[in-house]
Every structure is written in structure tokens, then in C-alpha cells.
Amino acid sequence: MSDGSDNVIQPARRRPVTLRDVAETARVSVATASKALNDQGRMTAETRTRIRAVALQLGFRPNSLAQSLLRRRSFTVGLLTNDSYGRFSLPVMAGVSEALLDNGVSVFLCNVEDDPRLGQLHVDAMLDKRVDGIIASGKRLDRHLPVDLSNLGIPVIYAFTEPDPNSIAFVSDDEGGARLAVEHFVALGRKRIVHVAGPETFAVVHQRADAYRAVLAENGLTPPRVMMGPWSEGWGHQAVAELFDAPGEKPDAVFCGNDQIARGVVDALRERGLRVPEDVGVIGFDNWEIVAAATRPPLTTVDMNLTALGREAGLTLLSLVDGKPVEPGLRKLPCRLVVRQSCGRPPGD
């Protein structure tokens, strides 16, 4: 039965109402209509309000494509990332969106994995669509995205990824974050603090380890002990075994490279009958809520403030797009310590 009442969704694309429609309905020229709506030019107050009323009634919305073409500004930016899982990109993206939304700027999100072909494809698409700028983000601070973003002719900002030389970049202050954690332990009176870190192939692992060693030295504490391994719960378990099976003094605090390791450490300690935080304090890194909050007890952990980082990146990109010059360089944004229950209360609390 094809009697026309077939129950299919016809992509009935209505013709959107244009400025011309408004002008004709209000019996003025498009020029006048445009000026009325943009508060430009001179005309009777009556004319202006009349045109406005017509536009409202017709539901007129200016065609961004036409505006962009003329203004050479698309009110659109691209966000490149290789973090398919979104653990780091999503908070950054949230911050970027937040900063840009108020300015009517939309974001193309493009995951380029680690594939140069995919990267080129996405960058070309962005360029063709005349994005006003690009934000490059990623899942680690010491790896480039698989794309060359120099000499694109549009502003580029790096946020939580390895930047090009002489570019503008926002990254987390990993040394600072590690200091926060270790100093927190020190303030709580912990004496034998070890660091169960991530893999040695990561630059941040060394930065944090250096900060850890520095804080210990500054406070005249036991020789530092840094153990490197994968970013996994399993590594947390293994590290606890190594630490507590060995003869001699046992640690009373463990600073972990991420929340998953910390989760493993906490679980392993509990399984050995050690109490967290009474016997051993534990601090994680990343503040990955879903892990940190589910750990028993909930993890005290370092938050890299990625949303704030994204917001800064977005605002700075806007400045560049607006033509304001910005000094190049690496901006390290401070981390913050999120205190939960895995290392006890500070003294006097």
C-alpha cells in the first residue's frame, strides 16, 4: 500500500527562514532588516521594532555559514585528541566547551588514535571547515599527536599533550602535584614514605619521582624508594608484596603513580591485615572518581584540574583568534590534593 501514508520518516527539510523573508514580510530591504536586527545603522525606532517583531514571529535565525563566510570567522574550533578512552580528554573537553560556549563557539571533537593518516584527515577536514583554531590534547604529556600542527595558518593551543617548540601549551604541574602528596604525608608525621610509580618510559614518572625525592631530602627523611611498574592494580599488589615481604622496616606511607595502582595497594594491604590509613597511608594520582571513591577507604589523591586546564586553553585560544598576541611557552597549572580517607586526618584536624 503506497497510498502516501506510508509510515516512514521523510527527511522533510523545511526551508529555513532567511533574512530576505523577514525583509519582504516587513516590507523593507534586506539591508535595513539586517541593520535592525544587529542594532546598526539609523532608522525609526518604529521600523526597528517592527522588523524585530517580524523576525521573532517568523522564527528567523541568521545562517551562520553565511555570516562565517563574510566575517572569515566560523565560531568553531577543533579539538584533537588521541585519548580514545576519554579519561583525560573529557575533562579537558568539558573545560574547553565551557569557556567557548558563552562565546557561541562550537567544538569539533576528533579522535585521531595514534594514526597519522587519521590525524591528517581530521586536520584537513577542520581546515576546510575553516575552524578558528585548534586545541591539541592527549593522553600523555610526553608524546606528540600523530599530526603536524605547525604552520597551519590558524592558532593552535596544546593542552595536556607534548607541545611543539615555541608554541603555547597548558600542562599539569606534576612536580607540584607530587609535592602536595608527599608533603601531606610529612605533615601527618609519616616517616617511611615510598613511591610506587608508573612505567619509567613516562616523563611524568621521573618528574614526580624527582619531586618525591626532593621533599624527602628537604625533611631529612629515610632514603627515598621509587618503584616503577605498569599503571595497573596488579602492579600495586606486586609492589606491596615486594615491600612487605622483605625483611626490615616497613613503609608507613605509599604515594602511588595513579589511582589504579593505589587501589591495588590498598586492597593488597587490607588482604595482609594492614589497616589503611592507621598502619599505612596511601595517596593516589588523577582523582579518577570512579576508582578513588570506590576504594575502601576512599582514596586521597592528586587532581590535575584538567577541566580548569581546558578552560584556560579555550580562553587563550579565543584571545589568539581575536588577534591578541600571547607569549609562547609552557604553562604549568597547579594540581590540588583531594583529601578523602586513605591517609588519616592531618594532626590537629
Partner DNA sequence: TTCTTTAGAGAAAAGGTTTTCTCAAGCTGC
Partner DNA sequence: GCAGCTTGAGAAAACCTTTTCTCTAAAGAA
Interface residue list for a second copy (CB under 8 A)? 6-14, 16, 61-66, 68-69, 74-76, 84-86, 90, 93-94, 97, 101, 104, 106-111, 118, 121-122, 124-130, 153-155, 166-168, 232-234, 260, 267, 290, 294, 320-321, 323-328
Nearer to DNA, 43 or 90 (CB): 43
Q: Which of 9, 12, 66, 205 binds DNA (CB under 7 A)?
A: 66
Least gap, CB of 140 to a second copy (angstroms): 16
- Residue 209 touches which member of a second copy, DNA, none, C-beta under 5-8 Å by kind: none
Of 278 and 327, which has the nearer Cβ to a second copy?
Answer: 327
Chosen residue from 24, 25, 47, 320 binding DNA by CB under 7 A: 47
Whether the Cβ atoms of residue 157 and residue 168 lie closer than 8 Å to each other: yes
Per CB under 7 A, the segment of 20-28, 116-124, 153-161, 223-231 that binds DNA is 20-28
- What per-residue string of b and e applies to 14-49 under the rule 16 or more CB within 10 Å gives b? eeebbbebbbebbebeeebbbbbbeeeeeeeeebbe
DSSP of 203-216, one letter per residue?
A: HHHHHHHHHHHHHH
Query: Which of 63, 84, 150, 201: binder of DNA (CB under 7 A)?
Result: 63
Residue 28 found at the interface with DNA (CB under 7 A): yes
By CB under 7 A, residue 129 contacts DNA = no
Query: What does the block give as the cell for 248?
Result: 626490615
Q: Can you tell me the distance from the alpha carbon of 187 to that of 347, in angstroms, rounded to the nearest whole number?
A: 8
Is 296 a binding residue for DNA by CB under 7 A? The answer is: no
Angle 311-314-320 from CA coordinates, rounded to 5° = 145
> Does the footprint of DNA cover residue 20 (CB under 7 A)?
yes
If binding is defined by CB under 7 A, does position 126 make contact with DNA? no
Closest CA to 302 of 278, 277, 337: 337
**Of 289, 288, 254, nearest to 268 (Cα)?**
254
Position 19 contacts DNA (CB under 7 A):
yes
Residue 20 binds which entry of DNA, a second copy, none, CB below 5-8 Å type-dependent = DNA
Decide if 321 contacts 163 (C-beta within 8 A).
no
Find out whether 262 and 235 touch, Cβ atoms under 8 Å.
Answer: no
Distance (Å, rounded) from C-alpha 35 to C-alpha 22?
Answer: 12
Q: How far apart are CA 56 and CA 147, in angstroms?
A: 45
Which CB atom, from 169 or from 180, has the smaller least distance to a second copy?
Answer: 169
Closest CA to 292 of 273, 252, 265: 265
User: Of the listed pieces 36-44, 79-87, 113-121, 317-325, which binds DNA according to CB under 7 A?
Assistant: 36-44
Instruction: Specify the DSSP element, H or E, that contains 118.
Output: helix 116-128
* Of the candidate residues 6, 9, 13, 15, the single one contacting DNA (CB under 7 A): 15
Q: Which of 193, 337, 342, 198 is nearest to 270 (CA)?
A: 342
Distance between CA atoms of residues 95 and 312, nearest Å: 8
Q: How far is the CB of 41 from DNA (least distance, A)?
A: 6
Residue 6: name its binding partner from DNA, a second copy, none (Cβ under 5 to 8 Å by kind): a second copy
Q: Does 43 bind DNA (CB under 7 A)?
A: yes
Q: With contact defined as beta carbons under 8 Å apart, do 75 and 103 qualify?
A: yes
- Partner from a second copy, DNA, none contacting 104, C-beta within 5 to 8 A by type: a second copy
Among 9, 11, 12, 38, binds DNA (CB under 7 A): 38
**40 touches DNA (CB under 7 A):** yes
Least distance to a second copy from the beta carbon of 160, Å? 16
> Which residues of this chain interact with DNA, rule CB under 7 A?
15-16, 18-20, 27-32, 34-35, 37-38, 40-44, 47, 60-63, 66-67, 69-72
